[in-house]
């Protein structure tokens, strides 16, 4: 290329506007691939990391370094964050530009004269028929082979443009539409949806934030099955069930009353693992976790002491400081028939519910091993304090979720799948035929294009050309019959 030509090309490049360069970036194939990769990584992170939890929850579940990274990178609310939504919008913008600048021109080429010899699949047939007779024969043959035929006369040459399974060309567009619907559903869920968790004890009533629902836990049921292992017997949960009473906030009542005016089933529900409760407002309540709160009666010199969380609200590693002393009680867990999964492997299952705890004096444990205190027993904690074990109080961890965009996401997934099926399992074909006169009759140049490469249609194209040659030969051998048939 000469210097003036290179200079002219550089000038044209410099004159391209910012708008045009932006469209070039958005329509570049690697751009949406990169954005989609980042979006997929964030989706995996948002699915793997518990969302919308208080900071202390992350420090309990993850190592300190990982918890710090989760909090500092704001990974606690991925699906409702602006970066996540921005990636979806970038994908939509790139998809729209690619659709109009690349997909539509390539998938739906215009009917126009072109050099057939330059196409990958092309052939030539010669016939002794006239131009009109050969053109009619080619058109009829294409129709009989299932093609939708369109014809044009360009510069004295007959052109045929035909399509088969043209609807399969819409597969990519349908897939783009499906992703657009999914993005719309994500946006609606981001705008109006919410989710969270409730830790609710038996007999307690809690309100689901944003949902105007009051939930009362009437009873928690846990069933466990013994499993024999090399190290001993362990117990695995086979069923979690929370029997709850759910009513709208403005109709909250202590319990449903029997009688014809209010049937006992009003507001009552059982929530099991993989069997959520769905309210009339499409709020989902899932059974997520469970536990048993430590329940103790603490006395000093015979007088009951009202200390925080001791009445059935103690959780693992909770500490109760005994006023007026340097002593403290650290609650461990509950072992026994109510929750045998907490019993260490190889240790016999206690016949009654038993608490494991530590008593500290000046920060030093008073025993070398955890103290096992069965329900109903009392232990001397020192300095006039006595600790009596009461029956544990069960609690249930319920996850609530409201996503008004999930139906749109489901619809988009179906549309996206349909688009992939159309694009991957069906092959659209466009046929070109050019019929022109020659000294010995007519010359028919024929070519075909597909969206899946020439190799997949090569054999069918050879059979198509062979059938066309035979048809033209028969027409040339019986011109009178053809004329009579056309007249009839």
Q: Which one has a higher pLDDT value, 451 or 152?
A: 152
Residues 6+ apart with CB under 8 A from 83: 42
Claim: this prediction has a pTM higher than 0.75: no
For residue range 246-259, list pLDDT tens digits in order. Answer: 988 765 544 444 34
Q: Give tens-digit pLDDT for 91-139.
A: 888 888 888 888 888 888 889 999 999 999 999 999 889 999 999 999 9
pLDDT of residue 237: 78
Confidence of residue 263 (pLDDT cuts 50, 70, 90): very low
Which superfamily, per CATH, for 116-165+427-487? Answer: Sirohaem synthase, central domain (3.30.160.110)
265 — pLDDT class (breaks 50, 70, 90): very low
In the chain, what are the domain boundaries?
Answer: 3-107, 116-165+427-487, 192-290+397-411, 296-389
pLDDT at 176: 86
- pLDDT of residue 348 exceeding 90, the answer is no
Arithmetic mean of pLDDT, 25-42: 88
If you average pLDDT over residues 31-58, what whole number do you get?
85
Q: What number is the average pLDDT over the span 180-207?
A: 89
Q: What value does the mean pLDDT take over residues 58-72?
A: 87
Confidence at 210, pLDDT banded by 50, 70, 90:
confident
Average pLDDT of the chain is 86
Confidence of residue 30 (pLDDT cuts 50, 70, 90): confident
Q: What is the mean pLDDT of residues 332-351?
A: 86
Residue 5 has pLDDT above 80, yes or no: no
pLDDT score for 488: 29
Q: Minimum mean pLDDT among 97-101, 342-346, 432-436: which range?
A: 342-346
Q: What is the pLDDT of residues 366-382, one digit of tens each?
A: 999 999 999 999 999 99
């Amino acid at each position: 290329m000469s210097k003036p030509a290179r200079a002219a090309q550089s000038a044209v490049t410099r004159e391209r506007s910012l708008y045009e360069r932006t469209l070039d970036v958005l329509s570049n194939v690697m751009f949406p691939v990169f954005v989609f990769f980042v979006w997929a990584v964030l989706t995996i992170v948002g699915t793997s990391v518990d969302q919308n939890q208080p900071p202390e929850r992350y420090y309990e579940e993850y190592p300190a370094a990982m918890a710090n990274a989760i909090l500092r990178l704001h990974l606690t609310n991925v699906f409702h964050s602006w970066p996540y939504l921005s990636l979806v919008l970038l994908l939509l913008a790139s998809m729209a530009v690619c659709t109009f600048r690349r997909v539509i021109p390539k998938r739906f080429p215009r009917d126009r004269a072109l050099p057939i010899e330059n196409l990958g699949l092309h052939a030539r047939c010669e016939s002794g028929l006239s131009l009109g007779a050969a053109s009619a024969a080619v058109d009829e043959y294409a129709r009989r082979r299932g093609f939708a035929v369109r014809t044009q006369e360009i510069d004295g040459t007959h052109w045929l443009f035909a399509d088969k399974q043209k609807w399969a060309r819409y597969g990519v567009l349908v897939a783009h539409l499906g992703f657009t619907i999914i993005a719309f559903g994500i946006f609606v869920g981001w705008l109006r949806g919410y989710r969270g968790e409730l830790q609710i004890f038996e007999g307690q009533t809690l309100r689901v934030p944003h949902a105007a629902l009051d939930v009362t836990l009437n009873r928690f049921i846990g069933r466990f099955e013994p499993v024999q292992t090399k190290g001993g017997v362990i117990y695995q949960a086979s069923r979690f069930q929370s029997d709850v009473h759910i009513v709208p906030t403005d109709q909250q009542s202590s319990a449903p009353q029997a009688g014809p005016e209010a049937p006992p089933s009003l507001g009552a529900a059982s929530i099991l693992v993989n069997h959520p409760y769905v309210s009339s407002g499409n709020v989902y309540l899932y059974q997520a976790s469970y536990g048993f709160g430590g329940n103790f009666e603490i006395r000093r010199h015979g007088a009951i002491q009202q200390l925080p969380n001791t009445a059935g609200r103690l959780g693992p590693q909770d500490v109760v400081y005994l006023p007026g002393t340097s002593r403290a009680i650290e609650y461990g867990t509950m072992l026994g028939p109510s929750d045998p999964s907490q019993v260490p492997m190889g240790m016999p299952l206690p016949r009654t519910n038993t608490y494991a705890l530590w008593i500290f004096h000046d920060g030093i444990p008073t025993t070398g091993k955890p103290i096992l205190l069965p329900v109903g027993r009392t232990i001397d904690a020192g300095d006039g304090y006595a600790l009596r074990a009461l029956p544990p109080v069960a609690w249930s961890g319920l996850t609530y979720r409201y996503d008004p965009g999930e139906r749109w996401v489901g619809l988009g997934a179906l549309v996206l799948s349909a688009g992939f099926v159309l694009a991957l399992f069906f092959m659209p074909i466009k046929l070109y035929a050019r019929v022109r006169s020659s000294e010995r009759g007519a010359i028919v140049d024929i070519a075909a294009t597909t969206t899946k490469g020439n190799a997949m249609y090569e054999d069918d194209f050879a059979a198509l050309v062979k059938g066309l040659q035979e048809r033209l030969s028969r027409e040339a051998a019986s011109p009178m019959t053809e004329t009579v048939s056309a007249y009839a």
